[in-house]
């Protein structure tokens, strides 16, 4: 690791200080979804390191005619960066002000829904996707079965050959009531779901649906 990497990491961490200082005032419970998420709105908070690495991966591949589902839209940075390169982006969040912020951006091929990813309602999303991005797949899972069901639903929402994308940092992040995920947990899905596990790079991980279809 070079001095430049250390300086970049420090610079990135410093951007979170205002957010951490104001966290107690900003904490609001998700209003209508029943989700247990407790970190408040991410509308004005810097992107997490794990999402940034997923974005870097997206910037290296062709997204032409691709449909993307972004789980946990936060500040809508993914849509702002990639909407012009793909067919459409749908997003979900449990924070109402992240939805209204997304609407105010006025991006024509971007829609955000107030939805709990662990609930049945995600199957009502209006599209099938080539990519599903979720940098915190287990962080707020009420229990392991809910997380397993969520992955099965993600596969229902993916086109054949579609890809679920996550990152090891976000996989490990978990709140007191949830649990971390490891590479082995993703690999284990190969025995339960029609997916192939792929190590995309040092930290980005993927599950490809029906890879030979």
Residues that bind ligand SAM (CB under 6 A): 35, 37, 39, 42, 47-48, 51, 71-74, 92-95, 98, 116-118, 135, 140
* Separation between Cα atoms, residue 173 and residue 178, nearest integer Å: 9
Which CB atom, from 117 or from 130, has the smaller least distance to ligand SAM?
117
Smallest separation (angstroms) from ligand SAM to the CB of 80 = 12
Smallest separation (angstroms) from ligand SAM to the CB of 66 = 19
Which CB atom, from 22 or from 160, has the smaller least distance to ligand SAM?
22
Which CB atom, from 2 or from 24, has the smaller least distance to ligand SAM?
24
* Separation between Cα atoms, residue 135 and residue 87, nearest integer Å: 22
* Separation between Cα atoms, residue 19 and residue 44, nearest integer Å: 9
> How buried is residue 170: exposed, middle or buried, by Cβ count under 10 Å (0-12/13-18/19+)?
buried
Which CB atom, from 38 or from 65, has the smaller least distance to ligand SAM?
38
Smallest separation (angstroms) from ligand SAM to the CB of 95 = 4
* Separation between Cα atoms, residue 71 and residue 74, nearest integer Å: 9
Strand order in the sheet with 67-71: 110-114, 88-93, 67-71, 129-133, 158-167, 204-209, 195-199
* Count of CA atoms in the C-beta half-sphere (13 A) of 163: 15
Which CB atom, from 13 or from 211, has the smaller least distance to ligand SAM?
13
Smallest separation (angstroms) from ligand SAM to the CB of 191 = 25
Quick check: 190 and 196 in contact, CB under 8 A? yes
Smallest separation (angstroms) from ligand SAM to the CB of 175 = 10
């Amino acid at each position: 690791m070079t001095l430049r990497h250390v300086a970049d990491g420090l610079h990135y961490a410093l951007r979170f200080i205002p957010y951490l200082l104001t966290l107690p005032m900003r904490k609001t419970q998700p209003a209508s979804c029943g989700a247990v998420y407790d970190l408040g709105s991410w509308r004005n908070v810097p992107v997490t390191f794990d999402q940034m690495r997923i974005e870097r991966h997206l910037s290296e591949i062709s997204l032409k005619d691709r449909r993307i589902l972004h789980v946990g839209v936060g500040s809508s940075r993914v849509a702002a960066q990639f909407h012009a390169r793909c067919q459409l982006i749908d997003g979900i969040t449990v924070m109402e002000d992240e939805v209204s912020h997304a609407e105010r951006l006025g991006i024509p091929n971007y829609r955000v829904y107030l939805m709990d990813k662990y609930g049945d309602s995600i199957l009502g999303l209006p599209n099938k996707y080539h990519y599903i991005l979720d940098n915190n797949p287990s962080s707020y899972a009420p229990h392991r079965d809910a997380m397993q069901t969520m992955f099965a639903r993600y596969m229902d929402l993916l086109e054949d050959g579609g890809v679920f994308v996550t990152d090891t940092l976000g996989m490990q992040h978990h709140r007191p009531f949830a649990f971390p995920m490891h590479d082995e947990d993703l690999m284990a899905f190969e025995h339960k779901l029609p997916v192939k596990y792929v190590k995309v790079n040092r930290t980005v991980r993927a599950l490809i649906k029906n890879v030979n279809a």
